[in-house]
Amino acid sequence: MTARNGAEPKPPARSQRYKVGQQQIVRGDCLRVLRRMQAGSVDVIITSPPYNIGLSYRSYPDRKEEADYLDWMLDVARALKRVLRADGSFFLNISGSSAQPWLPFELAVRLRELFVLQNHISWVKSISVGDDSFGHFKPMNSQRFLHRGHEHLFHFTLGGTVKLDRLSAGVPYKDKSNIARRGHEQDRRCRGDAWFIPYETVRDRKEKFDHPGTFPVALPEQCLLLHGRKQAKVLDPFMGTGTTLLAAQRMGCSGVGIEIDPDYVAIARQRLKEDRETRED
């Protein structure tokens, strides 16, 4: 990726590491850091890379030639495959745009040589039901395109046979008669592959830590619940402001977050510290 002045963003000569409880933050280029990680050491990868659709990040513009972007992401994916356990899960959150609708699918097809697409989850951010609506509808002025109310969450595994804890990530039955009638042991059913997780309402970008691509902490929490391993080792190679590590911390997991931007690293450290202090009170 390139910085605002057109140059490559400069990570530190040596990766800088910070520890907050069980969470480790590494400031550096993810490809360099991943090469030094132990093979087969990660249970769950949850990440949202730059979408390459022109979002406004602090350190670099989100715009490469599509072929270059896909090649770069394939290099990252190879590095992630090396560190993922044989029974691990890789949750990739990505979205296209009205101008680039094919990008998520092009990337998923390229990753087919490395992973099995075990589940394709739609992260629903806003939805209309009847005459009502739920979630945040981002303003959109167009006579050609519909409001984009969802993003993709691709669940990749190495062999497509990873057993999941669908009920821990599930929901109660609407019709309680189904519990006894169908012989279920508890009032929980699978959530399915459409997850309605709205953003918390914010009034300006500062409330999103000046980051254009944050996701709610409930999203990585659901991923961890679905994977279902206690005290899992979690990795986010594009950590941003630390939401994945925040979810890991709240769920008793250890995590590693990699981020090239020093401002986002500082924000992530502060979020983790404040969350720990709140939980300890």
Q: Where residue 270 sits, what CATH number does that domain have?
A: 3.40.50.150
What's the confidence (pLDDT) of residue 160?
98
Query: What pLDDT does residue 63 have?
Result: 66
- Model confidence over 62-116: pLDDT tens digits? 567 889 999 999 999 999 999 999 999 999 999 988 888 899 999 999 999 999 9
Q: What is the pTM of this model?
A: 0.88
Q: How far apart are CA 125 and CA 218, in angstroms?
A: 12
Residue 9 included in any domain: no
Residue-level pLDDT at 155: 98
Distance, in Å, from the CA atom of 207 to the CA atom of 72, rounded to the nearest integer, reads 31
Q: Which parts of the chain register pLDDT below 50?
A: 1-7, 57, 60, 209, 211-212
What's the pLDDT score for residue 61? 52
Q: Which domain holds residue 148?
A: 16-280
User: Do residues 67 and 102 lie in contact, with contact meaning Cβ atoms separated by under 8 Å?
Assistant: no
What pLDDT is stored for residue 186 in this prediction?
93
> What pLDDT is stored for residue 59 in this prediction?
55
For residues 164-182, b (16+ Cβ closer than 10 Å) or e, as one string?
A: beebebbeeeeeeeebeee
Has residue 1 been placed in a domain? no
* Cα–Cα nearest to 67, from 128, 114, 110: 110
Number of domains in the chain: 1
CA atoms within 13 A on the CB side of 13: 0
In a domain, 4, yes or no: no
Q: Is 208 a member of any domain? A: yes
pLDDT of residue 213: 52
